[in-house]
Amino acid sequence: MLNIFFSQFWPMIYLKGKPPKYRVEGSQVELMDILARKLDFCYEYVFPKDMLFGELLPNGTWTGMMGQLTRREVDMSGVLFSQQEARARAVDFSEFVYINDHVLGFMRPQMEPDISGFVKPYSFLVWMLLLMAVLSVLACALLIQLYHTSVHPERYSGSDSEPPSRTRESSGKDETVEGGRARLVDATRSEETSLIWIPAFLLAESIPWQPRRDSLRVLAGLWLLMACVVGSVYRSNLKAMLILPRLHLPFNNIEELAESGISLYTGTANVISVAISEASPGSQLHRLQKQRRPDTGIADSLSRFNRGLDAAFVSRLLIYFVIHTNFAAKRECKHYIARESYFGATSLSLAFPKRSQLKEKVDPVLRNLKEFGIPDHMLKRALRNTEKCMGPKSFTRTNNDLRPLELVDFYGIFSVYAGGMFLATGIFLFELASTPRDAKSKQAQHARREY
């Protein structure tokens, strides 16, 4: 009868029930049963009190499960250990069963209504450059028309309408004054039309304007081309953002995690926690010491991780397990894994006391099982839902469904429209208030000329 210890080791080992009467399930239990049949031995479960892998103390002894192995309280481990140099000096490891690495995981951001979504197709710099372009074209059009008006005052300055008809024939000085006044009115109308036409075409508004000067025609043609390109790109980007929105992840590596200030769960007495505790000052791992949250138990830590309160810096297989269970329960992909992995690929192996003869019997069986892919098959079966959340399609949307547009999405556009209506109403009221005074002034001037 062999004594083999087991502890909670998702996704390979599940401990259900209350201590000491645990019910042990998982792919690792199936693997141990295969070893027991092949090697013809029986085994008994041993459950560590602290359920920790263990740390090396300054006096050279080990805590946790590593301590049980070094003291030969058990014959082998049912839990898989990451092979490390310090551990390898204290215990013997079997053939590796799986390859694992350590990654960062966090709650995937959800798509929410965005009031400023209609300005997102262009960056702030592009909008500023576009504003400068509009102002520059307006200034050029105004200067060109002022130049033609001052250099060729005898000519009609050219605009979008025919020269105004003369309703009253004048002679001498009166005719000269009236003609100059008419040309000034025509020039003013042309300038106003061009100033309205330039920003209006950028907004796809149709305002007739036929410039009669070659310089204005060249300027207008270039602006037509630029406005067409800018408008087409804007509409295309906006449509793409609505169809396949891209989410901005809170972090994608250790540096971004340290800058975000998000609290971090790493577990206790494992590779990650030891590396962060022993990190040299100034390093990225050392910066995570302030964000690392004390371990309050696996159940509480898992709850905080699922609610998006903590990030997790743990083994990739553990993140896969959380993604698998969440999808099985709610059919949702709630978490993402950062792009970079850390501490390289590590071998997960069974552990034995030093110079144990059992290792020489277990290794050939494990080697044959791996050649047939049996451990990998059992692991993929235990994590069958993970692939549904790790494909490229799942990362383009939050829950594999398009989010319908809500009223909040249109608040930004509505506010721009309301601001425009308010401005137009103010200008209209100003014109109404100023028109009577201008009319009275013109009537008085006309009466004086007649007298």
pLDDT in tens, 241-263: 776 666 778 898 999 999 999 99
* pLDDT, greater one: 66 or 179: 66
- The DSSP annotation for 315-334 comes to EHHHHHHHHHHHHHHHS---
Enumerate residues 6+ apart whose C-beta is below 8 A from 120: 114, 238, 241
Mean pLDDT of 102-123: 81
- Binned at pLDDT 50, 70 and 90, residue 76 comes out as very high
The reported pLDDT for the residue numbered 51 is 83
The reported pLDDT for the residue numbered 112 is 65
Q: What is the mean pLDDT of the chain?
A: 81
- Binned at pLDDT 50, 70 and 90, residue 157 comes out as very low
pTM passes above 0.75: no
Two structure tokens written together for 266:
């790493």
The reported pLDDT for the residue numbered 377 is 94
Q: How far is it, in rounded angstroms, from Cα 42 to Cα 36?
A: 6
447 pLDDT above the threshold of 80: no
Q: How far is it, in rounded angstroms, from Cα 363 to Cα 352?
A: 11
Q: pLDDT, tens digit, for every residue of 217-245? A: 888 888 888 888 888 888 888 877 776 66
What is the b/e burial string over 151-162, where b = at least 16 CB atoms within 10 angstroms of the residue's CB? Answer: eeeeeebbbbee
Q: How far is it, in rounded angstroms, from Cα 370 to Cα 376?
A: 8
79 pLDDT above the threshold of 90: yes
